[in-house]
Amino acid sequence: MRKLFGTDGVRGTANIAPMTAETALRIGAAVGRYFRRDARGVHRVVIGKDTRLSGYMFEHALTAGLTSTGMNVLLLGPVPTPAVGLMTRSMRADLGVMISASHNPAEDNGIKFFGPDGFKLSDQAEAEIEALVEAGVEPAKASNIGSAKRIDDARFRYGERIKSSLSRETNLNGLKVVIDCANGAAWSTAPQVLWELGADVIPVGVTPDGHNINRGCGSTQPGTAAEMVVAHGADVGICLDGDADRVVIIDETGKVGDGDQLMALLADRWAVEGTLKGGALVATVMSNLGLERFLQGKGLRLERTAVGDRYVVERMRAGGFNLGGEQSGHIVMTDHATTGDGLMAGLHFLAEMLRSGQPASKLVHQFEAVPQLLRNVRFANGQTPLDAKPVQDAIAGAEASLAATGRLLIRKSGTEPLIRVMGESEDADLLAQAVDSVVVAVEGVVSA
């Protein structure tokens, strides 16, 4: 069982365990030892980060730990998470590290890892690394200590790779695009790429100061970008999160479309073109029932996984599928990338606007979503509310009430101390009653 690693690496509030400089140093040493088991040859690791102030602290701590075991560190600076997957593979590194807490507030931070193939590590690999963190590792001899070097053109390399996922004939001339970078990792790259492709760019969230990542902007708070789309008469808005691995689309009326709608659009289009591998889309248990029905109507399948884009990718690789993602906006296109890439997905949406001649409001609404309700209950460290009998009884009752019209999903978040209670049903009143009954039970246990 992993205690340090969650759904997407290690994550928490900066300077509070486990997200301390000391722990980061120990993790760096452990992961360096893990990937340097073969003592032959040159061993490299690339490290990227988003724009959080604590990124400097963790970057230096990880570098110290990694070089102490003989790893040579290549520092990319602030880059999107998908850039780390790309650079790990293209620079023939043994390991890639991204320092980011994604959509979380600036006070949080996290560390996630990519293997030499550019894909995120498996649960088993993380468990083995965690064991090394607990046991400690022997440092390298003084003569074998690794070095560190800054890579100044990482954002440029990533931008060129993003553009290459589109046909050479694609240009965005005539499109007015609002791009919200969440004051995060794509604050420079995303507007630049859109401008180079010919778009009239209206940037939002492009003034990071170390403290304002995801604050009032980005994919989890798209209100500001939606207002800008309407105010400027833009054709579309693209909202990224702090590390730019997820996206939501805003149509010309200011309406927000989630990842399910974008995946439906891409799956349908790729199926028509004959490029959708395996006749299926891979998504998580959180994706709307309406998406599943839409795909069935097209003769396609929905393959569901546990929550987390890396579980989506694992299923895609195992089944030979090339399109997957999450309702939250992680869109994975393994023909072009190794993990969710918000900017790439946004560009492919723009390309479909141009190809079809249809407005964003038409493309962002592919199916009627089944009413879905998600509520979160925060709990304290050490609490296990889902194990309490009142909660289990409430869940059983809610499941029974929704059995004929929908479904219920209750889970512990892998990135925050939250219990997530999600339900779907054609009967909105019944749905609200079912979800509320579970939430009340969890709140009662948490506050006891």
Sequence-distant (≥ 6) Cβ neighbours of residue 358 within 8 angstroms: none
Q: Enter the tokens of residue 115.
A: 């293997």
Helix, strand or coil, per DSSP, at residue 48? strand
Active-site annotation holds for 102: yes
Q: Of 112, 116, 120, which is closest to residue 49 (Cα–Cα)?
A: 112
DSSP 89-103: HHTT-SEEEEE--TT
Q: Of 178, 189, 253, 255, which is closest to residue 218 (Cα–Cα)?
A: 178
What's the CA gap between 311 and 41, in Å, rounded? 32
Burial grade of 166 (CB within 10 A; 0-12, 13-18, 19 or more): middle
φ/ψ (deg, to 5) at 40: -85, 155
Q: How wide is the angle at C-alpha 249 spanned by C-alphas 222 and 273, nearest 5°? A: 165
Q: Of 108, 250, 98, 308, which is closest to residue 185 (Cα–Cα)?
A: 98
Catalytic residue among 100, 102, 328, 401: 102
Q: Of 240, 192, 274, which is closest to residue 349 (Cα–Cα)?
A: 240
Hey, which residues does 425 pair with through a beta bridge? Answer: 406
Burial grade of 326 (CB within 10 A; 0-12, 13-18, 19 or more): buried
What's the CA gap between 238 and 250, in Å, rounded? 6
Indicate the DSSP class of residue 16. B
User: H/E element holding 262?
Assistant: helix 259-273
The full length of the chain comes to: 448
By the 8 A CB rule, do 101 and 52 touch? yes
> Active-site residues: which are they?
102
